[in-house]
Each structure stands twice: as C-alpha cells, then as structure tokens.
Amino acid sequence: MRPDAKATREHWDRLAATYDQAKARNDVYYRSLKDLFNRAIHPSLRRRVLEVGCGTGGVLASLEPDAGLGVDISERMIEKARSRFAGADNLSFKIVDATEVAALGPFDAVISADVFEHVPDWRAVARAMVGACRPGGVVAISTPNPGWAVPLWVLEKTRLKMPEGPHLFVGARAIADLLSDRGCTIQRRTTHLLLPANLAGVGRKVSEWAETAAVLRRWGVIQLVVARKNDENRVPR
C-alpha cells in the first residue's frame, strides 16, 4: 500500500504505547540496527545528530550524541520519546515532517532508521536530509530490503512482528543514486542480518558470516546506505 501521511501518522500514534515492548520482542533486529548506526557514525560526527522518524528515540540515544534531535510525524511517539529520555539533557524531540528537516540543520550526522518505506515521497525526505547535513557530515539511512517483502508480510500476518501500516519498500541503489546526485559520496551500500532471529546465539553468527559470502551478502533484511556530504559541494535546493 502506498504510504499516505495521515494514515501513517495514525498508525504510529496507535502503536506508540506498546512500541518499545514490541521492539524488545525483536531484540536481535533492533540491536543490529543500533550496532550498524554506531559503526556508521564516527564518534567525531556525534556533536550534533538528527534522527528523522525517530519513534521513541532508541537509535538516536544509542549514539550518545552531544546534542541529538529526534523528529517524528507521530505526536504519540514524540511524547513517548520525551518521557523515556526525560533525564537526558543531550536529547530533544520535536514533531516535524521528514520532508521539512533541511531548515533544522546543520548537523554532523543525519540518520533515519526504517522510515523511507513509510513516507509518500522518500526522495523529498532524502533531499531534506542532505539539506540538514553540514558539508563533510554523514547521512545514514536504513530501510528493509524489498527482497524480504514476502517473509516480512508473513511474519506480520502471523504476529511475529509488529504491523507496519501503509508502506512501500525502497531499494538501496535508488537511495544511493539520489544521494550521489545531491553531492554526496557513497561510503557504504550494504545489507545485514540474513537471519533476524537469535536461535540460541547462532542466528547472529550466521548473519555475520553471510555478510562475507558473495551470494548471500545482498540478502540481509536491513539495507544500509551511508554517504558523506562533499565539502566543496553546493547542494541544489
């Protein structure tokens, strides 16, 4: 289903109250997501960090930025993020549409974890993210692999994962191409987590091994694109 802003906001507003418990049940997936962003964003780029579509703020907080801003279209998610991190002076949260973030910058790092599949116009979001990033900073985007559409649908229907609401998968190559066109240098376009289950500790090892195997390396459930915004570049608005 093509994402629609109103239906998307209502969906995540409904899920906000139980979102963190649902994530805890899929701990392998969310731990991997945090690990990937922690590896993508060098500590020297964590002075000012923006997370677009931050949900309850877990990924942003895991980076331990000096000043981290999380924005989301869902009022309930932002309320949850604010109460979850009420004691964290380095974090703040705001209701802002992903297409509007360019005006909030500049940031050293601009990230988004599993949001592109939920927005009506992911290209507008990618452009806004580049606009919010300072020259020399990094833009990092994760989104589920379109090759996983059927398994993810089955997992959702059998209630083994949380419902995603309106969504349309986006390929990492298209994201990388757009970031290149906007004056970024692609540092990484990879997939991760071939086996998003713990399986007594074996799942993670299999996924790590799959990342080194030529035939499997494209089939991880998480796609990650990391790009550096070129220093001397003037990004067209």
Ligand X SMILES: C[S@@+](CC[C@H](N)C(=O)[O-])C[C@H]1O[C@@H](n2cnc3c(N)ncnc32)[C@H](O)[C@@H]1O
Q: Which of 68, 114, 131, 204 is close enough to bind ligand X by CB under 6 A?
A: 114
Site membership for ligand X, residue 74 (CB under 6 A): yes
Contact between 143 and ligand X by CB under 6 A: the answer reads no
Q: Which of 73, 129, 194, 221 binds ligand X (CB under 6 A)?
A: 73
Which of 63, 104, 113, 139 is close enough to bind ligand X by CB under 6 A? 113
Residue 162 exposed, middle or buried by CB count within 10 Å (0-12, 13-18, 19+):
middle
Using the rule CB under 6 A, which residue among 40, 41, 50, 72 binds ligand X? 72
Q: Smallest distance from the beta carbon of 31 to ligand X, in angstroms?
A: 12
Q: What is the 3-state secondary structure (H, E, C) of the chain?
A: CCCCHHHHHHHHHHHHHHHHHHHHHCHHHHHHHHHHHHHHCCHHHCCEEEEECCCCCHHHHHCCCCEEEEEECCHHHHHHHHHHCCCCCCEEEEECCHHHHHHHCCEEEEEEECCHHHCCCHHHHHHHHHHHEEEEEEEEEEEECHHHHHHHHHHHHCCCCCCCCCCCCCCHHHHHHHHHHCCEEEEEEEEECCCCCCCCCHHHHHHHHHCCCCCCCCCCCEEEEEEEECCCCCCCC
Among 82-90, 113-121, 148-156, 217-225, the segment contacting ligand X (CB under 6 A): 113-121
Task: Give the one residue of 32, 41, 53, 137 binding ligand X; rule: CB under 6 A.
Answer: 53
Residue 223 contacts ligand X per CB under 6 A:
no
User: In sequence order, which residues have a C-beta less than 8 Å from that of residue 64 and are 6 or more positions away?
Assistant: 46, 90
**12 touching ligand X, by CB under 6 A:** yes
Does position 63 bind ligand X by CB under 6 A?
no
Size of the site for ligand X (CB under 6 A): 19
Among 37-45, 111-119, 153-161, 177-185, the segment contacting ligand X (CB under 6 A) = 111-119
68 forms part of the interface with ligand X (CB under 6 A): no
Q: With binding defined as CB under 6 A, does residue 132 bind ligand X?
A: no
Min separation Cβ 12 and ligand X, Å: 3
44's CB contacts (< 8 A; 6+ apart) are: 108
Binding of ligand X at residue 54 (CB under 6 A)? yes
Give the residue closest to ligand X by C-beta: 55
Chain positions contacting ligand X, by CB under 6 A:
5, 8, 12, 53-55, 58-59, 72-74, 77, 97-98, 113-115, 118-119
